[in-house]
Amino acid sequence: MKLKSNIVVEVGYEHWFKGDYFDRLPASAGLPAGGEKDSDYFFVNTEFRF
């Protein structure tokens, strides 16, 4: 989305399905609490052009 001719804003969402690979990892793999669950990412990117 262009706000002005020199400003561009992007907004997005991603959902990552972890799959069964993370279910098979040993406890020594050091995953953080909840690390085997799917992940959701939201992002905002702003670009200023000069």
d(CA 39, CA 17): 7
**In b/e form, how buried is each residue of 19-36, taking b as 16+ CB within 10 angstroms?**
eeeeeeeeeeeeeeeeeb
pLDDT tens-digit readout, 3-39: 678 899 999 999 999 888 877 888 788 877 877 788 9
What are the residues whose beta carbons fall under 8 Å from the beta carbon of 15, sequence distance 6 or more? 38, 39, 40, 41
- Amino acid 3: pLDDT: 67
Q: Which residue has the higher pLDDT, 36 or 48?
A: 48
- Amino acid 5: pLDDT: 81
